[in-house]
Amino acid sequence: MSKLLEGKTAIVLGVWNKWSIAYAIAQAFVREGATLLLTYQNDRAKPTVEELGRELGAAAFFPCDVQQQADIDGLAAAVKATGRRLDVMVHSLAFANHEDLNRPFIETSRDGFKLALDVSAYSLVAVSKALAPLMTDGGAIMTLTYLGSTRVVTNYNVMGVAKAALEAEVKYLASELGPSKIRVNAISAGPIKTISARGIKEFSKILEEIPKHAPLRRNTDIAEVADAAVFLGSDLGRGVTGNVIYVDAGFQIMGL
């Protein structure tokens, strides 16, 4: 039985540790036969990402700080130099200053707003522009978002605004890259206990409340998000683009 991503090369941006959604996606991609490429932000992150990648069987590692255009351009050149065609790109990057997440949204600093939007939203545009030309036989681009993009989630603050921008970008990119047979989608995962999520004030309370209201009466399993990414990256998702796919045990359909 053939694997869903057999013969495809996938690059994942955002693998920091074993508990991240990006790592779960990378793991699922390898399980389904993809050739895996990983990026790391800087020299400090390099040893950790390389260790995780070796465990997964990653084929190559590339430096890429998405706040630096030279790094993004260098990433595209380095991937091209491998001679591989790129089929899938996963953008699993987000950042906001801790202080901007732990005070009222109205007190968000100008610099903090710029930083959150740059790393969490604009980076998708910049990386897509650089890597899309390597998808010479079409491909799939995907990013990670959250319900706080369209509804107020207490303490999500500026990150919610960044995710709203990210979701709008998905639609515009899908429209422009469609003629090149490149699909662009977002996965809106339910709350998952990751190291990044700990930056959200009182995050544990969200995890306690979801099972009381979600149709499936439980929290999201990280493996479910990874499997959705496999679907989007594989030929099974060939007709899906410009969408936000919710993997959240159904929580987003519920009202009061």
- Res. 256 pLDDT band, cuts 50 70 90: confident
Q: What is the mean pLDDT of the chain?
A: 95
Q: What is the pLDDT of residues 14-70, one digit of tens each?
A: 999 999 999 999 999 999 999 999 999 999 999 999 999 999 999 999 999 999 999
Does residue 18 contact residue 41 with C-beta atoms inside 8 Å? Answer: no
Q: What is the pLDDT of residues 64-75, one digit of tens each?
A: 999 999 999 999
Does residue 206 contact residue 191 with C-beta atoms inside 8 Å? Answer: yes
What are the structure tokens assigned to 199, written together?
A: 């930056």
Listed in order, strand segments (DSSP E) in the chain are: 9-13, 35-40, 60-63, 88-91, 139-145, 182-189, 244-247
Positions marked catalytic? 146, 156
Give the residue among 57, 37, 38, 64 at the shortest CA–CA distance from 49: 38
Q: How far apart are CA 65 and CA 13, in angstroms?
A: 10
Among the four given CATH numbers 3.40.50.150, 3.40.50.720, 3.40.50.300, 3.40.225.10, the one describing domain 9-246: 3.40.50.720
Give the residue among 6, 68, 66, 3 at the shortest CA–CA distance from 35: 6
Interval 110-123 mean pLDDT: 98
Q: How far apart are CA 237 and CA 229, in angstroms?
A: 9
- Could you give the count of Cα atoms lying within 13 Å of 56 in the half-sphere of its Cβ? 33
CA distances, 241 to each of 32, 136, 144, 172 (Å): 21, 18, 14, 11
Q: Which residue has better confidence, 207 or 239?
A: 239
- Res. 2 pLDDT band, cuts 50 70 90: confident
Q: How far apart are CA 97 and CA 79, in angstroms?
A: 31
Give the chain's radius of gyration (CA, Å). 17
Is the entire prediction scored with pTM above 0.75? yes
The percentage of the chain sitting over the pLDDT mark of 90, rounded to a whole number, equals 89
Domain boundaries, given as residue ranges, for the chain: 9-246
Residue 8: pLDDT above 80? yes
Residue 119: pLDDT above 90? yes
Residue 233: pLDDT above 70? yes
Does residue 39 contact residue 11 with C-beta atoms inside 8 Å? Answer: yes
Would you list the DSSP string of 189-205?
A: EPP---TGGGGSTTHHH
Q: What is the pLDDT of residue 80?
A: 97
What is the phi-psi region of residue 249: left when phi exceeds 0, alpha when psi lies from -120 to 50, beta otherwise?
Answer: left
**Which residues does 207 contact at the CB level (< 8 Å), separation at least 6?**
191, 193, 219
Residue 120: pLDDT above 90? yes
Q: What is the pLDDT of residue 41?
A: 96
Q: What is the pLDDT of residue 84?
A: 92
Q: Which residue has better confidence, 91 or 204?
A: 91
CA distances, 236 to each of 5, 92, 144, 165, 227 (Å): 10, 21, 19, 27, 12
Q: How far apart are CA 20 and CA 222, in angstroms?
A: 9
Q: What is the pLDDT of residue 199?
A: 58
Q: What is the pLDDT of residue 78?
A: 98
Q: What is the pLDDT of residues 165-218, one digit of tens each?
A: 999 999 999 999 999 999 999 999 999 876 665 656 666 788 888 999 999 999
Residue 68 buriedness (CB in 10 A; 0-12 / 13-18 / 19+): middle
